[in-house]
Amino acid sequence: MLLATDLDGTFLGGRQSDRLRLYRLIREEEKIQLLFVTGRGLESVMPLLANPVIPNPDYIICDVGATVIDGQTLEPVQPLQSEIERGWPGIIEIKRKFKKIRGLKLQQVSQERRCSYFFDETTDLEGVKKIADELGLDVLLSAGKFLDILPKDVNKGSTLRKLAALKDFPEDEILVAGDTLNDRSLYDTQYKGVVVADAEEGLLSYTKHMDNVHHAEARGAGGILESMEHFPDFQPLVKGDKKNRTRNQTGDTQLLLLYHRFPYEVREENGVHKRVAP
């Protein structure tokens, strides 16, 4: 199977025991390929690749679908990346056009082929959409405060579909997972999907009548595991892992590390030893 999952609140969310169980399953089960599908920029995804606990993905779709990377080589997946690039006028032009829109605040995050803002109840959303239409771009709102300007028809779902076609992933072996409205396009693909617990209400409403979507009771990684046990095609992958779970696994923290240091450091200044805050 191909697990195409959002990060924050989904793959990185939920109980510690569920996260560790899911990560171990992905490492040990050769039949599972992993795809990160996130609104983060590639720069903020990179630290996860150095985390020994988190399994490395086979592919990364970031910038809400505007960037697609091979997870092993970190090279752009072509020709998909070039196709997306052709529809992007550049961040300088975007900033200039949207500078006068009231209520917009640029997000200070790494971003490529997309421009991300904060918005609020004072924001002229009609003005935003009018400018985006003039430039041939899309506007994506999520969580009641995030606004992304993207190339036309580019989103998490569209990039996933193109990647799946390019790499010949069978459609019935793809599972998508998310928790906010910027994941909505993942479910439009008609692949099997899970909306994890504590998801954004707008996403829950949008997917409520989709037969291919499981609404999990567990949060984050636990919701992904729950959906794998729910869909018959994926049950064999988690069957053996479920038997091997320890009986005392409660989901609570099982190891507590305490780190202590003195509330001061001793430094020498002009021959005099002084205590200073660390």
Cis peptide before 79 (omega within 30 of 0): yes
Mean pLDDT, to the nearest integer, of 95-116? 90
Mean pLDDT, to the nearest integer, of 196-222? 96
pLDDT at residue 250 tops 70: no
- How far is it, in rounded angstroms, from Cα 6 to Cα 159? 14
Q: Share the mean pLDDT of the chain.
A: 91
pLDDT at residue 244 tops 80: no
Helix (H) or strand (E) holding 27, with range, is: helix 16-28
- How far is it, in rounded angstroms, from Cα 224 to Cα 49? 20
Query: 16-28 vs 220-230: helix axis angle to the nearest 10?
Result: 50
- How far is it, in rounded angstroms, from Cα 196 to Cα 215? 6
- Residue 270 has, within 13 A of its CA and on its CB side, a CA count of 0
pLDDT the model gives residue 251: 56
The full length of the chain comes to 278
DSSP-derived secondary structure letter, 259: -
pLDDT at residue 248 tops 50: no
Q: List, edge to edge, every strand of the sheet that includes 2-5.
A: 67-70, 59-62, 33-37, 2-5, 174-178, 192-197, 213-219
pLDDT at residue 247 tops 60: no
- Asked whether the beta carbons of 159 and 61 are under 8 A apart, the reply is yes
Record the tokens describing residue 181, joined without a space.
């409205």
pLDDT the model gives residue 14: 96
Q: What is the pLDDT of residues 29-45, one digit of tens each?
A: 999 999 999 999 999 99
Domains (range + CATH), the chain:
2-84+154-243 (3.40.50.1000), 89-151 (3.90.1070.10)
Question: When comparing pLDDT for 242 and 71, which is higher?
Answer: 71
pLDDT at residue 99 tops 60: yes
- Asked whether the beta carbons of 207 and 195 are under 8 A apart, the reply is yes
Give the global pTM: 0.83
